[in-house]
Structure 1
Amino acid sequence: MASSRIPPTALTLKQQQPLQLEPSRGVSCRGLGIQHNHPELPPRNMAPYVFFTTAPQTLFRKFIQRQNILGLYRNILRTIRHVPDRMDRKYLRDWARNEFKRNQNATDQNAIRMMIIQAQNHLEELQRSLALAGN
């Protein structure tokens, strides 16, 4: 049974031009031409590669955090739909959209956590107000 794995000695690395450093995205290796010499595979250029300097766990945490924030935003908009007065509904919907849009580029994790807690408190307060109003 033939193995479909490529042996590590079948890959060669040729440098075509110097590496370009991009501080926000890690190292860009557009200048590297990676070619293989495995007999079963056709030769091809596998560049460009971009290596990220961020750990996979950090990327996963940010992904989960983003999903939680989007879920919170959707819950706020769903709750606002139950507000009886049309003008109040429009005001609250515009307020929520503007707050999330204004803070969408925030990078400080402590500030983001605080904004999430504030948004959850606003949502709970709105839900309590609607429950007291009988809606």
Structure 2
Amino acid sequence: MHCTLRLATIAATKPPPLSFQQFIQRGKVIAMYRKYMRLTKRIPDKNDKREMRQWIRGDFDRYRSETDAQKIEVLLAQATRQYKEMESGMFSML
């Protein structure tokens, strides 16, 4: 009985399935997050690398619950511009 109650609770808290557009956007967000994390591999100082990764994680977590598709597209565009700026800045540092 306890197991059945637990399964019912898990099923009740399961989020609804994503629409196709949400699925595509989720993939874009994950890809952008990974690009940022790969970019931090170029940072030689371990403390600076850790701080940058914490900042990136915090920034992505801040908008984790965003559901508005237009807002997500705006955030992705901002992230892309910022990534390009960071990438060009890192090449000049190395």
Greater C-alpha Rg: 1
TM-score, with structure 1 as normaliser: 0.54
What 5-or-longer segments of structure 1 have no aligned partner?
A: 1-23, 26-51, 53-57
Query: In the alignment, what sits opposite 1:115?
Result: 75
Structure 2 gaps, min length 5: 1-14
Distance in 1 between residues matched to 2:82 and 2:50, nearest whole Å: 16
Structure ranking higher on relative contact order (CA contacts 8 Å, 6+ apart): 2
Note the C-alpha offset of 1:110. Answer: 2.1
In structure 2, C-alpha distance between the alignment counterparts of 1:133 and 1:112, rounded to whole Å: 31
Runs of 4+ in 1 over 3 A off after TM superposition: none
Amino acid at match of 1:90: R
Which of the two has greater strand per residue? 1
AA of the residue aligned to 1:76: Y
* Alignment equivalent of 2:44, drawn from 84, 87, 110: 84
2:87 and 2:64 map into 1 onto residues whose CA distance is: 24
Q: 1:131 aligns with which of 87, 91, 94?
A: 91
| TM-score between both structures, scaled by the size of structure 2 | 0.75
Match of 1:102 among 56, 62, 66: 62
What is the aligned-residue identity percentage?
28
Q: In the comparison of the two structures, how many residue pairs are matched?
A: 80
Structure having the higher helix fraction is: 2
RMSD: 2.0
- 1:106 aligned counterpart, secondary structure: coil
1:74 aligned partner = 34
The residue number in structure 1 matching 2:19 is 59
